[in-house]
Amino acid sequence: MKKQTLRLRSSQYLRNLGETGSLNVNKMIQPLFLAEGLFEKEPIKGLPGVYRDTNQSILTQIESDLKTGVSQFLLFMVPKDKSDTSFPKDFYHSNISLIKKTFPNMFLWLDTCICSVTTTGHCCHFHKSGTIDLDLTLKRLSDLALIYADAGADGIAPSDMMDGRVGSHRRILDANGHTMVPIMSYSTKFKSNFYGPFRGAADSSPQFGDRSGYQLDVRDRDTAIHTSIRDKEEGADLLMVKPGMTAIDLIGPIKEKTGLPTGAYQVSGEYASLVYLANEGFLNFEDGLKETWDVFRRAGSSYLITYGARIAQRLYS
């Protein structure tokens, strides 16, 4: 717990996420997608103004976002080729290090799930019997966390929902000189119908079955709270519920039971729903978006991951 407290105090970016004031642009994190092999950025269906970026366009996008007041980003790396045995280390390292060298005054979180690289599109590896190979999965996930940290990631965000992955990440980071790299865990993440646009952006749709074997059942409140408590005990510095609106009742209880900053991910389907309602003339998009943010604030969200972070400063001015 002492190290968790030190990490949360170690930079203004983390202090912003942890302080108890109202939501504002300093407490919002903008997702980014970097896709290997693209020659020009691609729009993401349902998420206007959000793209799958090239290694050049992402620099332009970050520069633009920084001018709007955004200072924290959650980066999803999307390799061109799938593999169950190796990672495209050059793709990861060259781009992360370039982003941090170009923009030192920002905080870059890296999502450590492997669903964008596995041949199955799942967040894990399987035994031949079809059961999850937890040992191999944890090794691969933690190897990826170390690759990202070595490349210059400011923070690590495990989203796979495997048992023990936070502890595994913390051990490999600490053993390799990254004791002050924080972990922002997707600690209460449900199997949900609201992830559609994201899966296209991250090229992460399962090739068979679904993710009910490791993501949470939306009906199960007790387990949902327990997984966040578990991740705190394993060394997570910040916790998160996902999807945000359908888990909004859990933010307060998780904060109360863990004492850690607890945020929410306003996921792609939630964001896209507002877009479609606005396109049909049923609401004003910005008014509807800000209303959802005000509800997250009312529920006690310490921070918010949202595709609209880049317009937050204007909406809160």
Using one digit for the tens of pLDDT, what is the confidence trace for 142-157? 999 999 999 999 999 9
CA R_g for the chain: 18
Of 2-16, 75-89, 271-285, the poorest mean pLDDT is in: 2-16
Using one digit for the tens of pLDDT, what is the confidence trace for 197-223? 887 787 778 888 788 899 999 999 999
Which tokens hold the place of 139? 């090794």
pTM of the model: 0.96
Asked if residue 243 has a cis previous peptide bond (ω within 30° of 0), the answer is yes
Residue 198 confidence (pLDDT): 84
Average pLDDT, the chain: 95
Residue 98 confidence (pLDDT): 98
Assess whether pLDDT exceeds 90 at residue 193.
yes
Interval 4-16 mean pLDDT: 92
Interval 304-309 mean pLDDT: 98
Which tokens hold the place of 157? 């965000």
d(CA 317, CA 223): 39
Helices (H), 31-133: 57-67, 89-102
Give the largest CA-CA distance in the chain: 56
Interval 312-316 mean pLDDT: 94
Residue 4 confidence (pLDDT): 80
Using one digit for the tens of pLDDT, what is the confidence trace for 56-81? 999 999 999 999 999 999 999 999 99
Express as a percent the part of the chain with pLDDT over 90.
Answer: 88
CA distances from 277 to 24, 43, 175, 240, 304 (A): 24, 19, 49, 27, 22
Q: Are 290 and 304 in contact (CB under 8 A)?
A: no
Express as a percent the part of the chain with pLDDT over 70.
Answer: 99
User: Strand pairing partners for 108?
Assistant: 73
Residue 208 confidence (pLDDT): 85
Residue numbers belonging to the annotated binding site for Zn(2+): 113, 115, 123
d(CA 138, CA 144): 10
Q: Which domains does the chain have, with CATH numbers?
A: 7-316 (3.20.20.70)
Residue 224 confidence (pLDDT): 98
Residue 25 confidence (pLDDT): 96
Q: Kindly indicate the confidence band of residue 21, based on its pLDDT and cuts at 50, 70 and 90.
A: confident
Q: Which residues are catalytic?
A: 189, 242
Assess whether pLDDT exceeds 80 at residue 287.
yes
Residue numbers belonging to the annotated binding site for 5-aminolevulinate: 199, 211, 268, 307
What letter would DSSP give residue 217? P
Q: Kindly indicate the confidence band of residue 1, based on its pLDDT and cuts at 50, 70 and 90.
A: low
Of 172-186, 203-217, 293-307, the poorest mean pLDDT is in: 203-217
Residue numbers belonging to the annotated binding site: 113, 115, 123, 199, 211, 268, 307
Is the model more confident about 274 or about 2? 274
Helices (H), 203-236: 221-234
Using one digit for the tens of pLDDT, what is the confidence trace for 161-176? 999 999 999 999 999 9
Interval 39-58 mean pLDDT: 95
